Amino acid sequence: MALTDQELIAGFINIIGQEHVITNSSDLEPYLIDWRKRYRGQAIAALRPASTEEVSAIVKLCAANQIAMVPQGGNTGMCGGATPNPTGRQVVISLQRMNKIRELDASNQTITVEAGVILQALQEAATAANRYFPLSLGAEGSCCIGGNLSTNAGGTSVVRYGNTRELCLGLEVVMPNGDILNSLRSLRKDNTGYNLRDLFIGAEGSLGIITAAVMKLFPVPVAQWTALVAVPSAEAAVELLNRFQAGASAQLTGFEMMSDESLALLKHYYPALASPLAGPNAYEVLVEISDYESEEHATQLMESILSGALESGCATDAAIASSLAQARKFWDMREHVPLAQADDGPNIKHDVSLPTSAIPTFVATCNEMLRKKYPGIRIINYGHLGDGNLHYNVAGPSSAETESFFVNRSKEIQALVYKEVEKLNGSISAEHGVGQQKVDYLKGHRGEVALNVMQAIKRALDPHNLMNPGKVVSL
């Protein structure tokens, strides 16, 4: 017979202690709502285990009582993937207390961390060992590596180091039945059977709970050199990218783009972060080069590629950061575009990716189509051009109309934008994941066969649909 809620809670207390079973409504509140306050749910309790064994025991108790579980890290997701549903019949399992760095092997360039380690703490642990952990994103001060893995987070250095997926060598996962899957090996090569690791990465907790991971580390660059480059068009931006790829190869560690409207918004809300380049420019690109020799070599490489670009016309102006402070300012510009947007009010967000060669066509077609249909709209187009990832966001004609435009036009504009993305074989979720936000788009995007395969895997590993149900793949 199933336990009553009180018996269940007594069971959880028995596993992790009273103070880590959160049930009173004010303490529970932060676990029930996402940081952007778009998704809200209810829960029997939020549970804060401190070890893999405790997670396993909780999962076994939940499985025995058919209680659905919602794993949660720093709760900084964009798609509601870590928010419980409104039934109040789920539990949130927070991994935040699992925050130990288990091992750092500087020679092998690996670090073994628990899921609740905050990204910034991981970066700092690497730095302290004279190594570099490249994953970097806006939420790094509060997001956890378990969440980064579960959503396969992207960020600003994917152009060189790949997504979180590419940075992971091994995982420890608590399966939906409570079994502990230990694949925490620090190996660059291991061809022994199916690659389970990459199935859990990006599954947003719907196939099991990631409790620990082995991540790759890298040597620390001797110098990082940053430039802000004006380009006359999206075509020119892609040509500039190709020039840096050819000339700097893996030394190209950042390539971010901001459209003129993004820069105008930035200037309005953060005047101190206005671009130092004479404008307006169709786009400005932030380029970062990392060097393992010297500052001189980095400067020389940057200048040589830029002078070729200026000559060819794909760049029309450029400012090379002359100090760490100025380099920081260029990055601040890029990072404050989304903040300026938030200040401006809600906007219709699209986290899309395309082959970089298709980006000029996408931008031209989509801009024209939308501007014609919705005169006066502002297209805040910026993002990780080096990875083909655009945050192509649409805001109403003026700040005053932003809210109503958002409420009335979101569905239709998203449908229009996604249609253009699909035409060019892009993705409707480049780095933010699916969560509960994009579940209904999955079949249209991935196709029926892929959805069938995903559902078959979900059913095979989580036959009672208890692990973050309703997220990613609906059954």
Q: Which of residues 322-361 bind its own copies (CB under 8 A)?
A: 353-358
Of the pair 250, 415, the CB lying nearest its own copies is at 250
Q: Considering CB under 8 A, how many residues would be counted as binding its own copies?
A: 96
Of the pair 35, 441, the CB lying nearest its own copies is at 441
Q: Which stretch binds its own copies (CB under 8 A): 20-28, 47-55, 134-142, 248-256?
A: 248-256
For residue 402, the minimal CB distance to its own copies (Å) is 27
Pick left, alpha or beta for residue 43 (phi over 0 → left; psi -120 to 50 → alpha; otherwise beta): beta
Q: Which of 76, 251, 436, 468 binds its own copies (CB under 8 A)?
A: 251
Q: Which of 1, 24, 37, 193 binds its own copies (CB under 8 A)?
A: 193
For residue 236, the minimal CB distance to its own copies (Å) is 13
Q: Which stretch binds its own copies (CB under 8 A): 6-14, 214-222, 311-319, 334-342?
A: 214-222
DSSP string, 106-140: TTTTEEEEETT-BHHHHHHHHHHTTEE-----TTT
Strand locations in 264-419 (E): 283-291, 317-320, 351-353, 378-384, 389-395
Q: What is the rounded distance in angstroms from the CA atom of residue 68 to the CA atom of residue 392?
A: 35
225: tokens are: 């050199």
The verdict on 202 binding its own copies (CB under 8 A) reads: yes
Q: Which stretch binds its own copies (CB under 8 A): 59-67, 190-198, 334-342, 408-416?
A: 190-198
CB 287 within 8 A of CB 227: yes
Which residue(s) pair with 171 in the sheet? 183, 213
Q: Which stretch binds its own copies (CB under 8 A): 192-200, 224-232, 321-329, 410-418?
A: 192-200
Q: What is the rounded distance in angstroms from the CA atom of residue 265 to the CA atom of residue 344?
A: 8
The verdict on 246 binding its own copies (CB under 8 A) reads: yes
Of the pair 31, 244, the CB lying nearest its own copies is at 244
DSSP string, 230-262: EESSHHHHHHHHHHHHHHHGGGEEEEEEEEHHH
140: tokens are: 């790094």
Q: State the CB neighbour count (10 A cutoff) for residue 36.
A: 14
The burial class, CB within 10 Å (0-12 / 13-18 / 19+), for 24 is exposed
The verdict on 194 binding its own copies (CB under 8 A) reads: yes
Q: Which stretch binds its own copies (CB under 8 A): 116-124, 134-142, 155-163, 409-417?
A: 155-163
Q: Which stretch binds its own copies (CB under 8 A): 114-122, 263-271, 311-319, 424-432?
A: 424-432
Output the CA angle 113-119-125, nearest 5 degrees.
Answer: 60
* Phi and psi angles of residue 91, each rounded to the nearest 5 degrees, phi first: -115, 145
The verdict on 415 binding its own copies (CB under 8 A) reads: no
Of the pair 344, 462, the CB lying nearest its own copies is at 462
Q: Which of 102, 165, 267, 329 binds its own copies (CB under 8 A)?
A: 165
Of the pair 21, 213, the CB lying nearest its own copies is at 213
Amino acid at 458: K
CB 228 within 8 A of CB 276: yes
Of the pair 5, 166, the CB lying nearest its own copies is at 166
Q: Which of 226, 418, 432, 436 binds its own copies (CB under 8 A)?
A: 432
The verdict on 257 binding its own copies (CB under 8 A) reads: no
Q: Which of 20, 349, 378, 384 binds its own copies (CB under 8 A)?
A: 384
Per DSSP, 437 falls in state T
The verdict on 453 binding its own copies (CB under 8 A) reads: yes
Residues 76-105 that bind its own copies (CB under 8 A): 105
